[in-house]
A and B are shown apart, each in its own frame.
Chain A
Amino acid sequence: MTSTLERLSPWLFTIALFAIWEFVCRVFSVDPFILPAPSAIFAAMVQYWKPLLRHSFVTLWTTAAGFALAVVFGIVLGLIVGWSRTIYRGLYPVMIGFNSIPKVAVVPILIVWFGIGEVPAILTAFLISFFPIVVNIATGLATMEPELEDVLRALGASKLDIMLKVGIPRAQPYLFGSLKVAITLAFVGAVVSETIAANAGLGFLMVQAGSNFQMPLVFSGLLLLAVEGILMYALFAEIERRMTRWAFRSSMSAAT
């Protein structure tokens, strides 16, 4: 009984949210130009499904490309940073500084460099999402038990041996945990760039629709963004669960 309810609760809550929204819009007769009711948004979605689908795919692939770059670069940099305490300490302030820059501020520079189009979107997605990957891998490596390192070093293990046998497998749950955060960030980055300068993508579509005062279409874009975000998060949460089952099991047994 409870488990069925628990399984259904995400759907129930989402439906309830839309129901309340619809209710509020109707009862207070909110101007559809300010906040369109869900029914109007879904109607717009059905009406414009073709352009919505096309622009969704553009956003999806720029996000995926930026994210892929971030994964490769993030893993490499994370391993370098986690390799030694000196590099860790040396690079950390630089990375924090870089991460503090709002990526919206970088988009105009990217446009000057690469022109309007998909490249700035891909790069913005990359820039915004590599940081959590780097930090997580470096943390995974840095929190290795010193005694375990002693055991291996006393056997004559090189730094590389220790990394391969312990560090990298140990950093895996940290990596997969960071991927689900990074993918949503990459998505945000791609859309931000599209709203500033692009000729395709959901961000671009929303700006266009906004300037034509098609508010239901703007909101359909928003909803699609949310749905895509949830799907990608769910995908990487599932990948995380499959790849690092031991981490969940061992922390579970440690807790009991």
Chain B
Amino acid sequence: MPGLLLDGTRVTAFIDIAGVSLVYKGAGGGVLALQDTTLAVQRGEFAAVVGPSGCGKSSLMKLVTGLIPPDKGQIDVDGARVAGPLKIAGMAFQNPNLLPWRTVIDNVLLPLEIVEPHRSRFRSNRKAYVEQAEQLLATVGLKGFGQRYPWELSGGMQQRVSLCRALIHQPALLMLDEPFGALDAFTREELWCVLRDLWQKIGFTVILVTHDLREAAFLADTIHVMSARPGRVVMSKRVDLPRPRDLDIGFTPQFVEIVHELRSKIGEVRQQS
């Protein structure tokens, strides 16, 4: 949302979703997925979106990355109206979706074969890109796994590769749709830390869609709670826990209180549906 700083200059949020509505056209008529959703994310901010299932969280991701246009309202990213695929976003989903015929390193390099300016330089610069990918893999604890195939890796490792693929073209924005939803509890917490470290090191903007409230509270600066369908943002909660956070923070009263508050809010919106 446009706002005023103390010195009077206007600032615009990095991601500015203003009054967006979205209707899904199905066989049985349209379903209102999002209604009058308004949301702002600052540059470098880690935002989490939580809500009951079917509240249009995933639609929100597609809207922000420009994969589908809104029926009403507008979305601005980095000061420009979104009118098509964003190209500055990396995406990762619950399913790692790696290509089984490519090695880990070639999976990570895939976005560079698509997105400019890397695309036209890819052949001549391949060596540098491979090095870059290997460094990124090392950051997520997969040093030396580049020549393996995805099916040789565990689920948690595949999800790390998926994160690397989302980040290889150094996107300003990382969109995550329940990326850790299919992992066991220990692996999930491990990957929270991987994501936390990546974010602190590189400093991209994140929108994390999740239904794990502890995940949201541990990772995010701001948590947006969405209502049941038609979805809209009913609460935005700042998480003021000090950084860097480690997993033990989950046992502090402050953390528990945040999770508790989110939980009762979601319970409330689920009641209404």
- A residues adjacent to B (C-beta < 8 A): 145, 147-148, 150-157, 161, 165-166, 169-170, 172, 246-247, 249-250, 252-254
Contact = CB atoms under 8 A, between A and B. Distances in A.
Contacts of A246: 100-101, 149, 151
A147 B179 CA distance: 12
A51 to B, nearest CB: 47
Interface stretch (B21-29, B84-92, B128-136, B255-263): B84-92
A199 to B, nearest CB: 47
Given A154-B87, A154-B91, A157-B114, 10 more contacts: A150-B65, A150-B93, A151-B91, A151-B92, A153-B67, A155-B89, A156-B87, A156-B116, A157-B85, A246-B101
21 contacts: A150-B62, A150-B65, A150-B93, A151-B97, A152-B111, A153-B85, A154-B67, A154-B85, A155-B169, A156-B84, A156-B85, A156-B116, A170-B99, A246-B149, A246-B151, A247-B101, A249-B100, A249-B151, A250-B100, A250-B151, A253-B151
A148 B67 CA distance: 13
B24 to A, nearest CB: 14
Contacts of A155: 85, 87, 89, 111, 114-115, 169
B95 interface: yes
A169 B114 contact: no
Nearest to A152: B114
Contacts of B269: none
A147 B97 contact: yes
Contact of A145 (B62, B97, B149): B97
Q: Which one of B86, B113, B152 has the highest number of Cβ atoms from chain A below 10 Å of its Cβ?
A: B113
Nearest to B84: A156
A157 B62 CA distance: 15
